[in-house]
Structure 1
Amino acid sequence: MASIPFNPASRAQRSPPLDDPATMSTGRKYLIFAVMAFGQFMALIDIQIVAASLNEVQAGLSAAPDEISWVQTAYLMAELVMIPFSAFLTQALSTRWVFALSAGLFTISSVLCGMAWNIESMIAFRALQGFVGGAMVPTVFSTGYVLFTGKQRAMIPAILGMVSVLAPTLGPTVGGWITDAWGWRWIFYINVVPGALVCIASLTLIRVDRANLSMLRRLDWVHLGSMAAFLAGLEYVLEEGPKNGWLDDSGIAVAVWLSLVSFVLFLERSFRSSGPIVVLTPFRNATFAFACVFNLVIGFGIYAGTYLVPLFLGRVRGYNASEIGTTVFISGIAQLLGVPLAAALSQRVDPRYVITAGLTLFAVGLWLFSFMTPEWGFAALFWPQVVRSFAIMLCIVPSVGLALGHFSGPQLRYASALFNLMRNLGGAIGIAVVTTWLNDFSRLHYLRLGEAMGASPREAESFVTGLTRYLHAYTPDPDRALQMAQSFFGRLAGREALTLAFDDVFRLMAYSFLAALVLVPLCRPAPIQPDAPSPKVAH
């Protein structure tokens, strides 16, 4: 039988044709982008969707109090590993298959989380959910920069920045509503229909690049393992450190050394491996490096601020989940209002001016929080929340442009992954740092209040005596009335000390944003690309 000559183009001809962004209709571009942005929203909202339902999850799985926090920690640890790994996978498997697989596996792991039978299975499935879902976060950034140019591109960081901030903010509120209505397992089952739709839409619509499967044969497993150990160990230290005294705990000390050694090995493989998982060459661009610092600070402010305000309302004001959600809801509205302004300024004004205004306004918002008293509620928190939340978009949009505007092709994917990793790391570091600050400042202010009352005890004694007399009318035992009065006075002093500690923490956070302004003059923005010409229609 005659042999058939091999045609190297035949395989390419059987593959679906790629869509050229230059000739693709604007509607199709926005449809692809909307699908991917919604996938990113799903991955990000699930970080915090369990926050308001941890008590119900703990009861349903018969978990110990020190185990339940791992429902969130496991997700964050795994997501941190996937975000930088996603750039390699996108080149090896293509954007289409990475995003579709990420959405599909995220849906399956969500079902497994809802079916969890004990805390161990829940932690394992949450880690899987965070790992597979993490690929959707940076992939949409790089794909958006491939699809759009000129003025259309300016909307990419604005929309994705809004998603990145709004999703974690809405997570606890949405999770609480679902749990109250249908039970805690439905906070995971709710992902099934939208996750399946995103998976199907990704396979149908996304054709922007081709796979390079040969990269999988060169995968450096040591590089991947060292990166996973470094990032997971770092997240573990940041999560458990504030609760266990940092290096005073032997387990945390071991995790610190493991993470440090893994980081050194990760750097060695990054520069010397023939098939590195993460390429660090984007950091050779000074503006990208500075933009990553900005993103680290922004992540610090966003996640720590989102964490501190509900904590203040719960611990100082005694608000329940519904009251907290109502009070902080205004921050989401302010973020939405900042989107069109940030997008418009990014096309007309030097991004260095925009980010200067954003960082300064964010610092002002944090500074306004530093005057809180134990009586602050919705009205008093209104303007601090509005100022801080409105400034978020003025920080995120120009920082994304400064970071990604200099890259294209594979370098764009690696830059997007590293840039998004910085925001998540900033958030993890921020929550750990402000928790430590809050504990230390609370103890310090409590001691100072004790010293002040010791220096002039008459007013304190008069207050306790008057309260004892009041309580004695309801409690016949005078010793019991005195103990209740002293206990109430101690709680009152503790609340005052905690409030002063919140003020100190917000003040230090404001200083960190002002300090970041030093780097702004060192950045060099990329030139604005002209709009792509409209595709000609053949007659």
Structure 2
Amino acid sequence: MAENKAQIQDEDSLVEYGFRRVIITITAVLCALLEIIDTTIVNVALNDMRGSLGATLTDIAWVITAYAIANVIIIPMTSWLSKQFGRRNYFAASIIIFTISSFLCGNATNIWELVAFRFIQGMGGGALLVTAQTIITESYPIAKRGMAQAIYGMGVIVGPTLGPPLGGYLVDHFSWPYIFYINIPLGIIATFLTILFVRSPKYGDKLKANQVDWWGIILLATFIGSLQFVLEHGQQDDWFEDGTIVTLSVMAAFGLVLFIWRELTYKYPVVNLRVLRDTNLSIGTVLTFILGFGLFGSTFIIPIYTQSILGWTATDAGLLLIPSSITTGLMMPVIGKLLERGVPQKILAAAGFGVFFLYSLWMYLLMTPDTGAENMFWPLVVRGVGLGLLFVPITTLSLSTLKGKDIGDGAAFTGMMRQLGGSFGIAIITTFVSRFTQQHRVDLIPNISLIDFQVQQRIQALQQNFIQKGFSINESLDKAYTLLNANVMRQATVLSYMDVFLYLGILFLICVPFVLLIKKGSGKVDTSSVH
């Protein structure tokens, strides 16, 4: 009883007010934004990197993969590392690692240097995301944690969308190293603010070297690293037809089983799995996974569609998503206020899943090879509303009944599941688009018969067009057939994107009754510890 009281007092001692809370909140959101923007900002610079570093398409993909693998390995360990080194020290060290490795990335002279520095950057960045969430959560009194998650959520949701247009602008007007250099002044400011204002909770003694869960760390790295590689490279390597993918899938499966066994039996586990006994957190981690699936999946598919089908530039494709992000940002404080006034998280989350279903259905219905930006504006605004309704209630639900050191463990789980949800989403969507495109092409080909009068007219018109450009009759006929085939592939690809949006929508619709089944009262913020 005395120990619980001491823990509650220590937790209350971390609550900040006035100017200090504003500065801590800005620092934490800035760090979360830095990390998330860096996940997507490189996507638009890959071609320039290839050219200047002389890398192949397969090699350059490692710039994204290395960062993602480091991210998901470090995220589950952040709570444990915070306890070992102190929250403030660990957070400041992570910002410094992230900032220095950003400078090194910009100065890389070959592709493998860049990949190595991106891995180190990911180790620092993964810590920023989860520790920022924990710091914000603990800086607000329990009754105001809905608003705290709303403020944090603005950074997490807006970040992936800001990356591509910002990256496109920097690459177009400067050069690709500046997508990394932009982190340096922000990192220096965040480091000083952290050292001056962030406080560390007192969570007992540090572990000795012989008590550290080295096997847990190795098994976690094996499981998460292998799984992330499989998800990133599965489609391009033809999944289980490739020996490396099969080997790493087996390693991921065995690594997971052994990791769970180790963490449940070792006295000083590196990841506290027992915190998942909290019903709200266990439900929240599943919902966070689905949220990551939808957030990163839809953020990934729209730029690909607009660039490959509509022929847009990377900057234009990135700018298209900004209205959606602004809408989400505007929604966040509104949702925070609703939670403070006692609206149940499960009602808001169910509404969010329903709105996201409407967005997916709308995109399914309007997609054609000629869909313009004006057609997608309102559906993307609806997407922004849906994400706003989902992120804050799910995150608040996950952490609402946790206290003390468990908050950091819970934040680590939700952070990891959001990242893994995104990785699964992108991997599954990429595979579906590839497989569905082939199937739709097979289905469309029988409709193009050379004995069909309309088809003959189409081919003759295309042939005449090429003849007028100076090609011979045979060359013009070949080019007409090639163009016709390209049009079929384009139509097949659009149909595959339509399928993906439909299935995404169905997934979110299925979630609605499950969210509403959360037992009454389990989503309410526990205020008993403040009396």
TM-score normalised over the length of structure 1 = 0.92
Q: Which residue of 193, 198, 205 maps to 2:197?
A: 205
Structure 2: how far apart are the matches of 1:23 and 1:491?
60
- 1:343 lines up with 2:336 in the alignment: yes
1:316 aligns with 309
1:11 aligns with none
CA contact (8 A) 2:345 2:524 kept: no
Structure 2: how far apart are the matches of 1:395 and 1:465?
53
Structure 2: how far apart are the matches of 1:46 and 1:358?
27
CA offsets 1:78-99 (integer angstroms, 9 cap, x no match):
0101111000011111111111
- 1:81 lines up with 2:77 in the alignment: no
Structure 2: how far apart are the matches of 1:101 and 1:456?
71
Q: Aligned pair in 2 of structure 1 residues 367, 112: CA closer, same or farther (>3 Å)? A: same
CA offsets 1:22-67 (integer angstroms, 9 cap, x no match):
7743221121121112111111111111111111111121111110
Q: Aligned pair in 2 of structure 1 residues 182, 455: CA closer, same or farther (>3 Å)? A: closer
Q: Aligned pair in 2 of structure 1 residues 59, 22: CA closer, same or farther (>3 Å)? A: closer
CA offsets 1:188-217 (integer angstroms, 9 cap, x no match):
122111111111211111124137552253
CA contact (8 A) 2:158 2:326 kept: no
2:4 aligns with none
Report the alpha carbon displacement of residue 462 of structure 1 after superposing the two structures with TM: 2.2
CA contact (8 A) 1:92 1:212 kept: no
Q: Which residue of 265, 286, 295 maps to 1:293?
A: 286
CA contact (8 A) 1:22 1:532 kept: no
1:227 aligns with 220
Q: Which residue of 158, 161, 165 maps to 1:166?
A: 158
Structure 1: how far apart are the matches of 2:527 and 2:279?
20
CA contact (8 A) 1:113 1:126 kept: yes
Task: Flag the structure with larger Rg.
Answer: 1
1:14 aligns with none
Secondary structure of residue in 2 paired with 1:522: coil
CA contact (8 A) 1:291 1:400 kept: yes
CA contact (8 A) 1:338 1:391 kept: no
2:186 aligns with 194
Structure 2: how far apart are the matches of 1:327 and 1:466?
35
1:12 aligns with none
2:410 aligns with 415
Amino acid at match of 2:39: I
Alignment of 1:138-287 (within 5 A): 138-150=130-142, 152-210=144-202, 212=204, 214-217=206-209, 218-287=211-280
2:7 aligns with none
Alignment of 1:481-500 (within 5 A): 481-500=476-495
> Quick check: 200-209 or 360-369, which moved more?
200-209
CA contact (8 A) 1:149 1:530 kept: no
Structure 2: how far apart are the matches of 1:119 and 1:458?
53
Q: Aligned pair in 2 of structure 1 residues 456, 43: CA closer, same or farther (>3 Å)? A: same
Report the alpha carbon displacement of residue 457 of structure 1 after superposing the two structures with TM: 3.2
Structure 2: how far apart are the matches of 1:412 and 1:145?
8
Structure 1: how far apart are the matches of 2:339 and 2:16?
24
Structure 1: how far apart are the matches of 2:368 and 2:451?
23
2:474 aligns with 479
CA contact (8 A) 2:450 2:456 kept: no
1:27 aligns with 19
Q: Percent identity?
A: 29
CA offsets 1:383-413 (integer angstroms, 9 cap, x no match):
1111112210100111011100010111111
Amino acid at match of 1:117: T
> Quick check: 448-457 or 476-485, which moved more?
448-457
TM-score normalised over the length of structure 2 = 0.93
Q: Aligned pair in 2 of structure 1 residues 235, 456: CA closer, same or farther (>3 Å)? A: farther
Report the alpha carbon displacement of residue 296 of structure 1 after superposing the two structures with TM: 0.6
Secondary structure of residue in 2 paired with 1:373: coil
Structure 2: how far apart are the matches of 1:260 and 1:506?
30
Secondary structure of residue in 2 paired with 1:409: coil
CA contact (8 A) 2:161 2:318 kept: no
Amino acid at match of 2:173: A
Aligned length: 516
Secondary structure of residue in 2 paired with 1:324: helix
CA contact (8 A) 1:92 1:216 kept: no
2:431 aligns with 436
1:362 aligns with 356
CA offsets 1:146-173 (integer angstroms, 9 cap, x no match):
2212553221211211211111111121
CA contact (8 A) 2:15 2:138 kept: no
- Runs of 5+ consecutive residues of structure 1 not aligned to the other structure: 1-17, 534-539
Structure 2: how far apart are the matches of 1:74 and 1:213?
33
CA contact (8 A) 1:141 1:160 kept: yes
Secondary structure of residue in 2 paired with 1:214: coil
CA contact (8 A) 2:11 2:138 kept: no
Structure 2: how far apart are the matches of 1:531 and 1:411?
14
Q: Aligned pair in 2 of structure 1 residues 375, 24: CA closer, same or farther (>3 Å)? A: closer
Report the alpha carbon displacement of residue 458 of structure 1 after superposing the two structures with TM: 3.1
Structure 2: how far apart are the matches of 1:530 and 1:114?
50
Report the alpha carbon displacement of residue 528 of structure 1 after superposing the two structures with TM: 5.3
Report the alpha carbon displacement of residue 134 of structure 1 after superposing the two structures with TM: 1.0
Structure 1: how far apart are the matches of 2:360 and 2:182?
35
1:45 aligns with 37
Structure 2: how far apart are the matches of 1:402 and 1:24?
22
Q: Which residue of 441, 462, 487 maps to 1:467?
A: 462
Report the alpha carbon displacement of residue 531 of structure 1 after superposing the two structures with TM: 12
Report the alpha carbon displacement of residue 128 of structure 1 after superposing the two structures with TM: 0.4
Structure 2: how far apart are the matches of 1:197 and 1:449?
57
CA contact (8 A) 2:263 2:270 kept: yes
